[in-house]
Amino acid sequence: MGMPANVEIGSHVWVEDPEVAWIDGIVINIEQDEVEVQTSDGKTVAVSSSRIYPNDVEALSGGVDDMTRLQYLHEPAVLHNLATRYEINEIYTYSGNILIAVNPFQPLSHLYDVYVMERYKGAPIEGLSPHVFTIADVAYREMIKEGRSNSILVSGESGAGKTETTKMLMRYLAYLGGHSGAEGRTVEQQVLESNPVLEAFGNAKTAKNNNSSRFGKFVEIQFDKKGRISGAAIRTYLLERSRVCQISDPERNYHCFYLLCAAPHEEIEKYKLGNPKSFHYLNQSNCYELVGVSDAQEYIATRRAMDVVGINEKEQDAIFRVVAAILHLGNINFEKDEDIDSAVVKDEQSLFHLQMTADLLMCDPLSLEDALCKRVMITPEEIIKRSLDPHAAAVSRDGLAKTIYSRLFEWLVDKINVSIGQDPNSKCLIGILDIYGFESFKANSFEQFCINFTNEKLQQHFNQHVFKMEQEEYAKEEINWNYVEFVDNQDVLDLIEKKPGGIIALLDEACMFPKSTHETFAQKLYQTFKDHKRFIKPKLTRSDFTIVHYAGEVQYQSGQFLDKNKYYVVAEHQDLLSASKCSFIAGLFPPLSEESAKPSKFSSVCSRFKIQLQQLMDILNSTEPHYIRCVKPNNLLKPATFDKINVIQQLRSGGVLEVIRIKCAGYPAHRTFSEFLIRFGILAPEIFKGNYEEKVACKWILEKMELKGYLMGKTKLFLRAEQMAELDAKKARLLRNSATVIQRHFRTYTTRKDYIVLRKSSIHIQSHWRGRLARELYKYKRKEVAAVKIQKNLRRQLARRAYTDIRISALVVQTGFRAMAARKDFRFREQTKAATIIQTCWRCHRAVSYYKKLKKASVISQSRWRGRTVKNLEAATIIQAYWRRYRAVSYYKKLKTASAISQCTWRRTAGKEHSNVKMAIRETGSDEEENYKLEKQVEELRCCFPSEKHPKMDLEETKTQEIDESWFSLQTSQNKVDETNALPPEEHYAVLRTIAVHPAVIETSTPISDSKKVENLNAEVKKLKALLLSEKQRADNFERTYAEVCKLSEKRRKKLEETERRVYRLQASLNKMLYSMSDQFAELKMILYASSNSNSTSLPVKIDVQADVAPNNSDASSSDSDFTFPVPALASVDFSSPDPNAFQLIVQDLSTTEISGSDNGDKEGAFDDFF
């Protein structure tokens, strides 16, 4: 971190802020060690001078792409530069040879296309903007030129974009290498296609990331002598085994468990699975689904990825069989046996899951239960089988689940490596390390301890690399660097891994003692490291401990350290699974060698991880490292949001600020001579007058400012942080003094200029005022003359207006009297015409009523005729053959039903048409222009009705007679049939046949032979057939005649409806005319009355209005009485005397006797329907 600045009043500085980490401000007051600063948000704060840092106001608005070029290299400057570049979508920034990548949380495809890769291919690092392709290109070029392997270390917290950055690196290396693997796929593609498999079995949701990798990954891309990719390998580190059995809310277990629960229905039935909430290993958290992620689709994608990496169908089924077995295994619960202190399976549900686990693992259920609930102890004398209590049995169950899952994950990694293929002859490689970043949560357990131990090792490697780059920079400038201070974190590493007194050694020692607990382990730590500066014992706790890491203090809970550190396979579990009938499961647990099978052989997770980590460090030390630090700008995973508090914490934990601290320990300000002269040449302006070399001029400035302790190289000047701040302060003071002089001279100039302008303005104002006074006097005189003229014109206007009003009034009175006389004449003519129209309407109404009577009679005659026809047909059928009686009766019933339906349909249609006619008559309007036409049409209809009445009545009478004859014939036949049915059986058949021959035949006493009877009957039958045929022809004729009559009736009905609509419109017009006439009469009366009062010289006007209403009876269908429309008599033109015999127009209601034939309740004949 840079040293605090020596500032003065007016200096721009950075101040700590609890909301935005650092905020800029201006110094407004200084009192000893306390500085008062006004921040950019308007607040005023007082801080210690050691807690503020100078702000470079001359920095570029878009930031710098390399933070070593910042004028002030400290924490707020680095944070502000990253935020400035993030706002303009510049997500990559250099810090020396280190690349800082800020996750944009949005696609930026234009940064990674083939055109961009071509631009960065072989380009110098100074020529283009920072990019992840630059790091890959530098590593590839160094490997080709020097023949030495390189490595790229990608680190950052969960969700910072490490995996995506790794993919981009591999894409670019594949673009440079250009080697095709098996089946036409590149090695890089094969590695990427393995990602879905590894993510399904090695990733899980955490509190910070929905797809967090719970293992470290180191990808080795191998190259041949020509620089082409020849192979690749994936190495994994520290899979989080405990997550299989223990998860906390709102985290999830590994993705594969949820994918299998969302598999197709056949798979679920096959493995007897269900909702994730029903499994103990999944329902410890309330989170079962991820927002925007479909587990069913991810399951299909994972199966497809397995096909790509070479895992066949049989192996896939075995893999998911193991995953399902782990889920069922977690649902096996234990309870204490009633007789002895041992564990037994709790209930039927647990027995079901035990059976399913055994079936899926293809082992014996009893052997599985014994492996979970019992332990075998071998002594020299005998073999003892010891039962476990329920808690120990649950621990054994969880241990078996973790062992199976870790073996399955190792098998997947080995299978992927075999699928990708490795080149044993490769001499050079580029390794890409995707490792978890520094973690510090509220609850930190064994996994965080191992992760932070890894980051301490990588940070040491990182610090050494940064210090080495500083050494190269000093050597390049031929500067002695031996006295530059370098702070290492070796003491923390010794605290963790030193033997025999490190934390890992004490943990392994505690694991080897059966009676050790986490509390005894914590007390051992307290005693051993009570004086260590990196170890702290927290207050109010008995088992927690705190380690001061390079990124800050982390408090660990040692409650599960011992259980999670034990790495061994229980012999019973090994024997059970190695004997499985499934070759895949047996292959996960091969038989152990005699050396590893010894009970005294102890292996811990820490010791194994330490060996793996040391192997990784050996690989990194043998390569040329390159660093990429990924930063997550916010925890909401939203674009264009830069949370400075979150970012500054990641910069601290990622070691970026540690690099700054290392640089600030030496000479952080590296400036070329030309850059220094441009920035600080103003401090010694005399150097610009002479022709001096840049180095000499820089030295002149530093000596004039009395600075010491700086270093001058061949092309650069090296300054400490406080020296840079002091130069900026002196420059600011000089500029402030110069500004004061400039302001003084400028104020003198502006004051004199204002005085001259004011003097000229006063003279101009006086001249203007005198002119204004003269103009005002002239305006007054001019207004006086204008007033006289206005008064003259106003008097003339008033006189003319009075005359005009009198003349207009006279004209109005004359017009009113003339209009009254004209309206009288018009009303007389209209009322006379109205009486004629009303009479026409009544005649139309009477014609409609007659039409409806005729229509009803026609329907009745048709119904009777059809009934008679049906009955004649049935009688003929009964007479023809008695054995067809049932069939004839059925036919009669059908004809009778059809006739009834026909009549009902006709009546319903007639009713609807009748209603439509009424509605049309009510809704249709009319105007006065059609009145005359309607009167003519009504007269024509009146003439047509009498001529059409007689043929229709004759037809109805004919049909009625025919129907009566048919009905009488049918009734007679039916009576004879009834008499025949009442005879004895012997005479029944003979009588029936006799009646069937002819209804008029009478029995005689003369005996007749059978043959003669048969002949007579046959003759009668022939006559009846002929008669029946003639009746059918007659019926057909009647049908045709009836159809013609129906068509004619329909035409006349439509014509009558149109006439009724026109009559209704005529009636509406008549009503409007009557209302208008009454209104006009009232107005005329008022006008005459007003005229008689206003004009005293006029003669009196008398109007006699007589109204007489003749009473008359009205039936139920009419509600109107006689109407009288008084019409005033026209007087003489001079209105001297009105006509005493004023006429009256009386419209009497027609007698109800003419419409008595109408149906009861039918009001369409009522007079009020037309008004």
Annotated binding-site members for ATP: 156-163
Annotated active-site residue in 6, 39, 163, 350: 163
Annotated active-site residue in 437, 502, 655, 713: 437
Q: Using the Cα atoms of residue 278, residue 279, residue 284 and residue 285 in order, give the sign of their dihedral.
A: negative
Q: Could you tell me the end-to-end alpha-carbon distance of the chain, in angstroms, rounded to an integer?
A: 105
Annotated active-site residue in 95, 213, 444, 840: 213
Annotated active-site residue in 95, 103, 151, 158: 158
| Largest Cα span, the chain | 176
Beta carbons of 895 and 1011 less than 8 angstroms apart: no
Query: What amino acid occupies position 639?
Result: P
Annotated active-site residue in 25, 159, 181, 202: 159
**d(C-alpha 139, C-alpha 149), whole Å:** 8
**d(C-alpha 991, C-alpha 968), whole Å:** 21
Annotated active-site residue in 188, 439, 447, 726: 439
In sequence order, which residues have a C-beta less than 8 Å from that of residue 612 and are 6 or more positions away?
237, 238
**d(C-alpha 373, C-alpha 397), whole Å:** 9
Give me the residues paired with residue 712 across strands. 717
**d(C-alpha 606, C-alpha 505), whole Å:** 9
Annotated active-site residue in 103, 206, 212, 623: 212
Beta carbons of 216 and 210 less than 8 angstroms apart: no
User: Catalytic site residue 212?
Assistant: yes
Query: 494 exposed, middle or buried (CB, 10 Å; 0-12, 13-18, 19+)?
Result: middle
Which tokens sit at 1169?
A: 């329907």
User: Catalytic site residue 158?
Assistant: yes
Residue 674 to residues 82, 96, 724, Cα–Cα distance (Å) = 26, 21, 16
Beta carbons of 23 and 60 less than 8 angstroms apart: no
User: Catalytic site residue 213?
Assistant: yes
* Helices and strands (H and E) in the chain: how many: 30, 26
Annotated active-site residue in 39, 49, 97, 209: 209
- The DSSP letter of residue 66 is B
The answer to whether the peptide bond before residue 538 is cis (omega within 30 degrees of 0) is no
In sequence order, which residues have a C-beta less than 8 Å from that of residue 576 and are 6 or more positions away?
363, 367, 368, 371
User: Catalytic site residue 1096?
Assistant: no
- The DSSP letter of residue 1170 is G
Beta carbons of 400 and 407 less than 8 angstroms apart: no
**d(C-alpha 1041, C-alpha 1039), whole Å:** 5
- Binding-site residues, in ranges, read 156-163
Give me the residues paired with residue 648 across strands. none
Residue 341 to residues 120, 344, 392, 677, 774, Cα–Cα distance (Å) = 72, 10, 12, 87, 127
**d(C-alpha 219, C-alpha 174), whole Å:** 13
Beta carbons of 388 and 375 less than 8 angstroms apart: yes
**d(C-alpha 480, C-alpha 95), whole Å:** 23
φ and ψ at residue 4, rounded to 5 degrees: -60, 150
Size (the chain), residues: 1171
Give the DSSP H or E segment for 800.
helix 721-880
**d(C-alpha 705, C-alpha 701), whole Å:** 6
**d(C-alpha 234, C-alpha 416), whole Å:** 8
User: Catalytic site residue 915?
Assistant: no
**d(C-alpha 6, C-alpha 723), whole Å:** 9
The answer to whether the peptide bond before residue 951 is cis (omega within 30 degrees of 0) is no
Beta carbons of 1127 and 831 less than 8 angstroms apart: yes
**d(C-alpha 259, C-alpha 271), whole Å:** 13
Query: 919 exposed, middle or buried (CB, 10 Å; 0-12, 13-18, 19+)?
Result: exposed
Beta carbons of 87 and 80 less than 8 angstroms apart: no
φ and ψ at residue 654, rounded to 5 degrees: -85, -5
User: Catalytic site residue 1157?
Assistant: no
Q: Which residues are catalytic, by number?
A: 158-159, 163, 209, 212-213, 437, 439
